[in-house]
């Protein structure tokens, strides 16, 4: 059965976990969909794991369009979500719509936009014109130079309160999903309880509606240890089995545990 926004919202209502994983080509799209991944994210993380850059900032619209077309061809029943790359949504709502529409024409079924309350007008503009939006709050890799590095967000009472407010504002603007990155587990739990749309976490603890990891990270292909990660290739006889193990662990609540949280 095809995964749609209605499916995801029903999963939240029924307390069924959502499994999201990044994907960049048709072959892995087919493998991930067969393994039960609900959402395939064409992440601008491709700048790091595919193109070899040190950040996501150099990723272009042409890059995203190419990889979105590839993934869409193999996505099967999974929902296809594409990142808006740096510079494509930090513009007028009209120009953002033009960029998002190109991604939708390439096969995306939703776009992801980084930013808090300042993006509410843009989110509203897109959703009123038929483009579903996943809002991305907490750590926003496209703003890494503003943060001074990849740092946990929402650690203070004021910043935690701001994250909750941002999620509510973006939901009211029409966002269909809210993704939180590097947020303390207790804060992510509060955000999840404060809004009606599903929440997806990466480094945000277990009390969210779903999880996402970068494909190359969960397969143990990227050197270095990150607290929120688990190498699903360990003990798995194949990549297919590793992805199936990830999906099962997310849906059973076995991953992540508080061991992987902040």
Contacts of 97 (CB under 8 A, 6+ apart): 125, 126, 129, 131
Token pair 């006889």: residue: 237
Q: Are 33 and 13 in contact, with CB atoms under 8 Å apart? A: no
Is 244 assigned a catalytic role? no
Which class for 77: exposed (0-12), middle (13-18), buried (19 or more C-beta within 10 A)? middle
Structure tokens at 231: 């190498």
Identified catalytic residue from 109, 114, 171, 181: 181
C-alpha–C-alpha distance, residues 216 and 65, integer Å: 20
C-alpha–C-alpha distance, residues 109 and 29, integer Å: 14
Query: Angle CA(84)–CA(86)–CA(89) in degrees, nearest 5?
Result: 55
Active site residues: 181
């Amino acid at each position: 059965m095809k995964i749609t926004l209605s499916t995801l919202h029903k999963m939240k209502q029924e307390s069924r976990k959502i499994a999201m994983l990044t994907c960049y080509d048709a072959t892995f799209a087919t493998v991930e969909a067969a393994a039960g991944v609900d959402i395939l994210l064409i992440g601008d993380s491709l700048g790091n794991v595919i193109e070899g850059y040190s950040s996501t900032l150099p990723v272009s619209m042409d890059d995203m369009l190419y990889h979105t077309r590839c993934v869409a061809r193999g996505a099967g029943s999974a929902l296809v979500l594409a990142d808006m790359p740096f510079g494509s949504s930090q513009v007028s709502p009209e120009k953002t719509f033009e960029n998002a529409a190109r991604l939708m024409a390439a096969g995306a079924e939703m776009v992801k936009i980084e930013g808090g309350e300042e993006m509410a007008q843009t989110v509203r503009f897109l959703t009123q014109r038929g483009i579903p939006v996943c809002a991305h709050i907490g750590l926003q890799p496209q703003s890494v130079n503003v943060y001074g590095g990849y740092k946990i967000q929402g650690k203070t009472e004021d910043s935690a309160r701001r994250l909750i407010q941002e999620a509510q504002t973006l939901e009211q603007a029409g966002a269909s999903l809210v993704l939180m990155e590097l947020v303390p587990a207790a804060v992510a739990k509060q955000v999840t309880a404060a809004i009606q749309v599903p929440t997806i976490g990466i480094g945000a603890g277990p009390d969210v509606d779903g999880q996402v990891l970068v494909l190359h990270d969960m397969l143990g292909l990227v050197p270095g240890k990150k607290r929120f990660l688990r190498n699903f290739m360990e003990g798995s006889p194949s990549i297919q089995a590793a992805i199936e193990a990830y999906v099962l662990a997310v849906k059973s609540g076995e991953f992540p545990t508080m061991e992987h949280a902040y």
